[in-house]
Structure 1
Amino acid sequence: MTTTRHRTSPVRRPSFTGNLAWSMAGNGGYALCQWFVLVVVARLGTPAMVGDYALGLAIGAPVVLLANLSLRTVLVTDPNGEHPFRRYLSVRLVGMGVAMGVISAIVIAFGLSPAVVLLVGAAKAFDGIGDIYLGLLQRHHDQRSIAAAQLVNGGLTVALVAALLWGTSSIAWAAAGSAAASALTWLMCCAPFAGRFRNRPDPRVRQHTHRAAGGVAELLWTALPLGLASGLSSLTVNVPRYALEHRLGATALGVFAAAGYLVLTGNVFFSAIAQTLLPRLTELRVHGTPAGFRGLLWQSLLGVGVAGGLGVWAAWLFGSEILRRLYGEQYAGASGQGGRVLTVLTLATVLGGLCFVLDAGLSAARRFTGQLAVNAAVLLAAGLGALLLVPRYGVLGAAWATAVAALVHCALKWEVLRRAL
């Protein structure tokens, strides 16, 4: 064991509100660009193309998230700096290689179109590599650089997908544009931005203890429960999509995905709050008071609940018209069904936003194992909901299955955090 002591002068950090603003700008801009990608595919292509692209995401995202092992969260909440950044990076690189192997095996086993699924999976894998660099920036409260990288990634993705789809009329080439944008962002933005902090000690940490023997195994053992929980969470979100594609085909999945992408704005808002909360809650857990920890958590839950209620009300009033104007008549559905789907998905997003905040509290408290058990139960709820509701109600049934899973998720996370506190 080797121990190195660092003496550092106080570093002025951005304010919480400033970091929250940058986080919302970065996450919001990135989500907006992801939605623009869907609009481009819907306008230049067909609902089936939207469905093919959404299927690639539905397969690639859970696999990559599982392979991510939520190392970014572990890095941000590492209380004593026990693992060097290069260890996190090495594990992430290996994980992304394994993820691409698993995605390839899924393509072969189920006879899927290889080009779209593999290229969308590659885009997610490149994003995963860049994500660990963003974790280092987050640990040092540099949300501005994180936002810049997200905006570059989103802008490049829209530009390349639009250009290639317009020039080739091929969804596979569009997916290749998405993968290229993610790779360029990793190499040109994420790695250079984080390079400023690679050798800079964290001002919160008085001692850095880096174990040479068993270091990677120890890191994997710490991260595995949370990584499995994240993978299960992504799989839960996509279970209704699998059921829709299997039962009604790519066109129905495309209609559902179009409505789902509209509520990404809410996810981005809630994710920005959680990302900004996480390092603050970690500091309150280590150096602050239980009352301060609880107070910040309750304020955040209240803010998410109020903002989410307004979003559900807006979707109920204007959902069908928004879908009609953005995507076309076939996405709005007959008798305003598209609006009902959007309203239910918005409700599910609000419940998910509460879970984002609860997850931040659990992660700051380093309660990773409990999250795995909860997410396994939620996956079961999503599967049962999709099995019962999709065959009878179609796209609307998939939306309700998503909302039921989100409600179970929120209730269980609340109980786990209550016990932890």
Structure 2
Amino acid sequence: MAEAGSRRSAFAWNFAGTTLYNFSQWLVLAILGRLFSQATVGEYSLLLALTAPVFLLTGLNLRVIQATDARRRWSVSQFERMRHLLNAVAMGISFLIGVFTFTDMGLLAALVAVCGAKAVEARGQLNYGYFQVHDRLDYVAQSLLSRALLGPMMVALAAFLTDSLAWSAVGLMVGWVIPQLLLDKPRVQRLIRNDPQATRPEEPRTVPALRAMLTKGFPLGVDAGVSSLSINAPRYLLQATAGSAALGGFVPLAYLAQLISSITSAMATTLISPMSRAYHEGRRKYFVRSLVRLVAFGAGVSAAAMVAAWAIGDWVIARALGPEYVNRPLLMALLLSSTVITLQRMLSKALEASTAFTRYMLVDSVTLATVALASVVLIPKFGALGAAHSLTMGFLLGTAVVLAMVVKLVNTMPDSPASRD
């Protein structure tokens, strides 16, 4: 009973922190939509679409490595060194992409500011991994809630005072760095002081340790980058074929639809560790029951979102973003794509729990290839609606692939009747 209560508490913290943090990123788009033109919103969306895959690809998913480093192969300072190194690489690559993509110096300046915000976000994820090591998901949620509050506030202030997209992005970076300095850093230091393994003398051979970390995290980074590219690929082609204004009308609605995935990820975070233990202990019934629970939860949230969008979506969007953003067919198409994305990601948790990371990468690669191909065919003909349908088609095929893998995984899973379900 205590474990169930703890899991409910963890879910509550994850739900509040993750959902509101993701909502705040949509709120930033809403603020920009109110204070700038739709084309400017499209430019900001393009900056996010360019930088997100780079930071995820080079990021190695260090949070997962740190949170699962039970043997403490690496010290806290070694994780920090790797994080700073990877952030520098990601910022350099993003800047080079910007140099070859943009001729407007204002956009290039905004790209640098967005990279700064992304670097702060990535550094925060490392803190969250250490909080997870100590089972302090409440610290993670409180930090996310602080960012969810300060980020949009600083964006609104900077946009109002300067009328500049670049300074608005600087405002976002400041809004995210304040909780990191005033909230996360003191808590990490306090946990380190009380953690004998964290305060042990640092290993003298740092370079081999970082090389081992790079080797371990490379597949996770590639998978995260490919997954991000699957989401962003239609945005690149929409920008190229229809321009910034069309992208600016598409992305705010896409972010709103993606809140489904952020809500369901809170449930997945609380169940992934018990599912992993169940898999390795041969408790097939518990493993399958947990997976069914995840899929049912995702389907329920998706259905509720689609009903709400049909009933009051136009009213909410008109007041939050402006009447020019109201597009019910596009919103419903994006919600359908988000439903399929959620289904694929919930099923993929079975692969993650069994540590079948190679299969996970295969699923994401198939998804990306299908999304890209569908985008090339559909977006020139149907514009933003084609972009939404491209996501649906790509993730639908990915869902079919992962479902076949999960069925095979469950059928070959050793069953231990003596273990408690």
Give the TM-score of the pair, scaled to structure 1: 0.88
Residue in structure 2 matched with residue 67 of structure 1 by the alignment: 58
Residues 155-194 of structure 1: pairs in structure 2 closer than 5 A: 155-194=149-188
**In 2, Cα distance between the equivalents of 1:355 and 1:90?**
34
Question: Within the alignment, does 1:408 sit opposite 2:402 as a pair?
Answer: no
Residue in structure 2 matched with residue 30 of structure 1 by the alignment: 21
SS at match of 2:74: coil
**In 1, Cα distance between the equivalents of 2:3 and 2:298?**
29
1:263 and 1:195, CA in 2 relative to 1: closer, same or farther beyond 3 A?
farther
Residue of structure 2 aligned with 1:419, choices 391, 408, 419: 408
Residues 20-99 of structure 1: pairs in structure 2 closer than 5 A: 20-78=11-69, 80-99=71-90
Residues 267-293 of structure 1 deviation map (CA, whole Å, 9 limit, x = unaligned):
220121222223333343456734323
Question: Within the alignment, does 1:395 sit opposite 2:384 as a pair?
Answer: yes
Residue in structure 2 matched with residue 6 of structure 1 by the alignment: none
SS at match of 1:177: helix
1:190 and 1:35, CA in 2 relative to 1: closer, same or farther beyond 3 A?
same
Give aligned-pair identity as a percent.
Answer: 29
Q: Which amino acid letter does the alignment assign opposite residue 21 of structure 1?
A: A
Matched residues, number: 401
1:79 and 1:237, CA in 2 relative to 1: closer, same or farther beyond 3 A?
same
Residue of structure 2 aligned with 1:154, choices 141, 148, 151: 148
Residues 79-106 of structure 1 deviation map (CA, whole Å, 9 limit, x = unaligned):
5444334333322221111000000110
**In 2, Cα distance between the equivalents of 1:197 and 1:315?**
43
Residue of structure 2 aligned with 1:326, choices 302, 320, 323: 320
Question: Within the alignment, does 1:352 sit opposite 2:341 as a pair?
Answer: yes
1:318 and 1:328, CA in 2 relative to 1: closer, same or farther beyond 3 A?
same
**In 1, Cα distance between the equivalents of 2:206 and 2:57?**
26
| Kept after mapping to 2: 8 A contact 1:244/1:253 | yes
Residues 371-402 of structure 1 deviation map (CA, whole Å, 9 limit, x = unaligned):
22221221111111111111111111111112
1:46 Cα deviation (Å)? 1.0
| Kept after mapping to 2: 8 A contact 1:130/1:185 | no
Residue in structure 1 matched with residue 414 of structure 2 by the alignment: none
Structure 1 segments of 4+ aligned residues over 6 angstroms from their partners: 11-14, 209-213
1:229 Cα deviation (Å)? 0.7
1:149 and 1:288, CA in 2 relative to 1: closer, same or farther beyond 3 A?
farther
1:12 Cα deviation (Å)? 8.9
RMSD: 2.6
Residues 301-351 of structure 1 deviation map (CA, whole Å, 9 limit, x = unaligned):
11211221222233234433332232222111xxxxx11111111122122
Residue of structure 2 aligned with 1:269, choices 255, 263, 267: 263
| Kept after mapping to 2: 8 A contact 1:19/1:141 | no
1:364 Cα deviation (Å)? 2.6
Residues 226-253 of structure 1 deviation map (CA, whole Å, 9 limit, x = unaligned):
2101101111111111111111111000
Residues 249-288 of structure 1: pairs in structure 2 closer than 5 A: 249-285=243-279
1:284 and 1:313, CA in 2 relative to 1: closer, same or farther beyond 3 A?
same
What runs of 5+ residues in structure 2 fail to find an aligned partner?
198-202, 411-421
Residue in structure 2 matched with residue 16 of structure 1 by the alignment: 7
| Kept after mapping to 2: 8 A contact 1:47/1:254 | yes
1:193 Cα deviation (Å)? 2.6
**In 1, Cα distance between the equivalents of 2:288 and 2:78?**
32
Moved more, 223-232 or 289-298: 289-298
1:413 Cα deviation (Å)? 2.5
1:289 and 1:22, CA in 2 relative to 1: closer, same or farther beyond 3 A?
same
Residues 112-261 of structure 1: pairs in structure 2 closer than 5 A: 113-198=107-192, 214-261=208-255
**In 1, Cα distance between the equivalents of 2:348 and 2:185?**
27
Residue in structure 2 matched with residue 206 of structure 1 by the alignment: none
**In 1, Cα distance between the equivalents of 2:308 and 2:253?**
14
Q: Which amino acid letter does the alignment assign opposite residue 408 of structure 2?
A: R
1:410 Cα deviation (Å)? 2.2
1:317 and 1:202, CA in 2 relative to 1: closer, same or farther beyond 3 A?
farther
Residue in structure 1 matched with residue 330 of structure 2 by the alignment: 341
1:167 and 1:211, CA in 2 relative to 1: closer, same or farther beyond 3 A?
closer
Q: Which amino acid letter does the alignment assign opposite residue 52 of structure 1?
A: E
Residues 171-216 of structure 1 deviation map (CA, whole Å, 9 limit, x = unaligned):
111011111222223222233333344366699xxxxx99978433
SS at match of 1:127: helix
| Kept after mapping to 2: 8 A contact 1:245/1:252 | yes
Q: Which amino acid letter does the alignment assign opposite residue 220 of structure 1?
A: L
Residues 145-196 of structure 1 deviation map (CA, whole Å, 9 limit, x = unaligned):
1111001112111111000101111111101111122222322223333334
**In 1, Cα distance between the equivalents of 2:82 and 2:118?**
16
1:380 and 1:154, CA in 2 relative to 1: closer, same or farther beyond 3 A?
same
Q: Which amino acid letter does the alignment assign opposite residue 321 of structure 2?
A: Y
What runs of 5+ residues in structure 1 fail to find an aligned partner?
1-10, 204-208, 333-337
Residue in structure 2 matched with residue 5 of structure 1 by the alignment: none
Residue in structure 2 matched with residue 379 of structure 1 by the alignment: 368
SS at match of 1:141: coil
Residue in structure 1 matched with residue 352 of structure 2 by the alignment: 363
